[in-house]
Structures are given as C-alpha cells and as structure tokens.
Chains A and B, each alone.
Chain A
Amino acid sequence: MRVRLLKAAAWIACLTPLALLIWRGFHDDLGGNPVEKITHTTGDWTLRFLLITLAITPLRKTFGPPRLIRFRRLLGLFAFFYGVLHVLTWLWLDKYFNVSELLADVRKRPFITAGTVAFLSLVPLALTSTAGWIRRLGGRRWQALHRLIYLSAAAAVVHYYWLVKSDIRLPVLYGAVFALLMLWRVALRRPTPSSARRIAANTVSSTLSSKGTGIP
C-alpha cells in the first residue's frame, strides 16, 4: 500500500516538468524562442532522469532501502519519455521530418551524432522493460543489455558538452555526477565477487555508523 502511494507520488513528480512546460506554454512564458525552450527543457530532463536512474543502485546499496529498486524502471522510462519528446521536437519543429536533412545532421554534426547514440541506446531498454522480457531474456542477459544506459548517459553528457558555445558549467556538472556514479560502480564491481561483497559490507556498515541510522 505504501509503495503504491509512493509510486503515485513518483508519477506526479516525474510529470511535473512536463506539466510546468505546458502551463508556461499556455501563459506565453517560454521566452522569445519557445521551440528552443521546449527542446532544451525536455533534453535537460532526459539527462537528469538518466542520472537519477543511475543513482538508484548506489543509493540503495549505500543506504539500504531495498524498496528503492521498485522505482528504477519508472525513472528510466521517464528518461526515455522525455527523450522521445526531445527527439520529436527536433524531428518535427526543427527538421520538419526531412529525412535527408536529418540524416546529414546525424552524420555531419558530432553533437547530434552523440545525441542520436544516447537516444537510440535507450530504445531497446524501454522495449524490454517489462517483467515478461526479463523472463524471456533471462536475468543475466537482460542485465547485460541494460548496461546500455551507461552508454546512453555518457553520450548524453557529451551531446550537451558539444552543444554549448562557451559556458560549460552545466555540462561539466552533469559529467561529474555521471563520473561519480560510474566510479562507485567500478570501485565496487572490479574485485572478485567475494572481496566485492566485503567492500560493500564495509562501505554499508561504515556509512551507517558514520551517518547514523535514521535512514530506512
């Protein structure tokens, strides 16, 4: 029951950026270039949801609320959802579905190539996000496939970095968050399974002892 309530809250939270965008659109509050604002906002939220999704496992393993894992698919699918909106805005309002022009862009413009990689690598993950597909692929293969999210997030950061003209603060910040989340994985996954478990156990116990036990 509590998970249900939390899920409802998560849905509302995840849809808030879109709701705000629509509300501002109807109030003529998207600035001088509304199409650009829509493109940037949906792109920003795609990258943010990717990073939030990638943060679930480290948070769960560090702070230990196993229920968190139940939100990972939801968050990942919202990353895909905002990605679809982002790509559709570009395809329709920037390129007017002109196939030859957009293929030329993908080929010639490195930042668009990176963005395309980021988006396309999310598609199989969204398609195989159901329990049925986990069963069909088998846990291990499913997990291997879903490591594509690392590629997607890395490409998304590069896409953003290559897009900006000179003020690189935000793309660098997102890059740093991504690097931290990946470092956490490398630090814990590299050693042999038994030593990894030991490290994980140490990390969890030291975190719990240093930060107190107020966390569920």
Chain B
Amino acid sequence: MLIGRRPEFHWSQVTPRSTYISRRRLLTGAGALALATEAAAKAKLAPLAKSPFSTTEAQTPYKTATTYNNYYEFGTRKEDPAQMAHTLRTSPWLIKIEGAVAKPRTIDMDAIMKLAPLEERIYRLRCVEGWSIVVPWIGFPLNALIKHVEPTDKAKYVAFESLYDPRQMPAGEYAGIPFPYKEGLRMDEAMHPLTLLCVGMYGETLPNQNGAPVRIVIPWKYGFKSIKSIVRIRFVEKEPPTTWRLANPREYGFYSNVNPQVDHPRWSQANERRLGEVFRRPTLMFNGYGEHVAALYSGMDLRKYY
C-alpha cells in the first residue's frame, strides 16, 4: 500500500502570505485578480499513493467542500469560514508533542511532511448536524507520527488542541463554545490505520477554512472529532476533555461514533443529506467503516458511550 517514495513537496515551498499578498496587489493593479487569488495561496501535493480505504463514491465538488464549513473560530454560519479564515497564518507552524512519550518534541511542517509518504484517501465525512460530504483528503496515518515520538505505557488517550488566536480569529468570541478547541481519541482509535493526519485535499494543501495546515480526519466519527489546525498533541492516561462535550455534555459524547440508532437529543441521526443531493439518504453504522472499526468497540454499550 505504502510505496516508499518520499513526497517532493516541502512546506518551505509554500509561498509566504506576505509574498502572495503583495503579488496579488501587483496583479490587481494589472487587472488579473481572478488569476492570483486562489492559485498563489495553495500548493500542489505530489506524488500521492492511492489507498484501498478510498471510496469510489462521487466526490463533493471542491467549491462545496470549501464554502460550507464548520470552523467556529471564524464564525458560526456555514459560509463564514471561507470568508473569514484568510487571516489565519499557517506559516511558520509548529506542533508541540508532549505528555506520556519517550521523545517529546516540537516539530514544524517540513518535519511532519517527512514522517511518511503522502496518500490520497477519499473518505465520507458525516457531520453531527445531519449532512455529509465525500472528500479526497491527503495525508498519512496518524500512527506514523505517534510511533515517531514513542508513547509510554501511560499513554491511554491522545488529546489534540487547535490554534486559538483571537487576533487571527476575531469571530471566535461569539461562537458560544470554549476555545482553544480540544478533541481526543482513545489510543487504539488514534493508532487505527483509517485515522489520517491530513495536510491537504483535492490534490493541494488544505485551504484555511478546512483546517490548514494540518488536521486529523477520522471517517467513522462525526465531523467535529476531526479537529483542525492542530498546534498541540498530548498523550495522557485519562480521557481528555473535548470541546463540544464541555459545551453540552448531554448532547455530545467523547466517542461520537456515527450511529444511526443513537439520535442526537434534538434531531434524528437515522439519515443525512449528502451535499449536492436533494433528498436524504440513510446513515450507515460507523459511517460505513464498520468492517474496519467495529471491533474497537466490541462489548461497549454505544448508547451509553455515545
């Protein structure tokens, strides 16, 4: 599956924001704004290995996946992040890895890109709100990073934290949930080969509103578990607090596995609207990834551990 070729992309190749902004200004003057805006901000990622985990379902259009987002630090309306997230500075970017590991460290994006070869993973993503998308993510299994820092016996859970900088994220103040955004996984969930450390989508680096420069994607859990713009990863012994659970423990659990049989207290989870379709379709147990992940939860009451 993993072909041992290193990606040729380096994070240092990404054009610094200041540079492309000044280029944009030049181009605007030349009347070519349309050419400049999108192209300069993102970099192509190649080569990409194919993955047997990829679905063959129709992919959500790029425009939909990048203009219909939940990223409350940039506003609570779906169209807000695409309009507001340009203020996010993604370079330089550091992730602090700490806690119960033999080799704690702070690593930058160039080092992250060297940890494993990049793959394209076309996953379904099901939001807790009842909609879903199909996205060609780019990244590698999170377990490559975890093995790199050598967790100790005490590492039972992994806690993630997003960037929260009110100067870059002025809308965050009104979101109604506590920041910085926190998420967590049990160690076996984090080590699962489906759990993706994600640096890109649709062949390019991540747009800011989708969690640039680096996020997690866990396809069998509701979308809010797939934390964006990660700056801290901590290995811990006890189940870590997570943002939506802190905000409303009755409605959001730690596990948050996609489960059509366990409703959100305020709405049914039995079906979902695939963006681009008019009528709703049935939601699949574990978002259709049951054959890979059901064993992680054998013997657990998924009504209790929602």
Contacts and interface: CB of A to CB of B under 8 A. Distances in A.
Interface residues of B, number: 26
Contact of B175 (A93, A105, A166): A166
Contacts of A94: 280
Interface string A32-71: 1101100000000000000000000000000000000000
A162 B248 CA distance: 13
A169 interface: yes
Nearest to B178: A166
A184 interface: no
A32 B69 CA distance: 9
Contacts of A162: 266
Given A105-B268, A166-B177, A167-B176, A31 B72 contact: no
Nearest to B129: A165
Interface string A87-123: 0000001101000010001001111000000000000
B177 A33 contact: no
A167 B266 contact: no
Given A93-B278, A93-B279, A33 B174 contact: no
Nearest to B70: A165
Most interface-central of A96, A110, A111, A166 (chain B CB within 10 A): A166
A9 interface: no
Nearest to A166: B176
A165 B176 CA distance: 9
A179 interface: no
Most interface-central of A33, A165, A166, A169 (chain B CB within 10 A): A165
A206 to B, nearest CB: 37
A165 B78 CA distance: 13
Given A32-B64, A166-B176, A166-B177, A109 B78 contact: no
A111 to B, nearest CB: 6
A168 interface: yes
Interface of B: 63-65, 67-68, 72, 76, 78-79, 129, 131, 174-177, 247-248, 263, 266-268, 273, 275, 278-280
The 9 A-B pairs with the shortest beta carbon distances in the complex, nearest first, are A32-B68, A166-B176, A167-B76, A32-B64, A167-B176, A166-B177, A32-B275, A31-B79, A33-B275
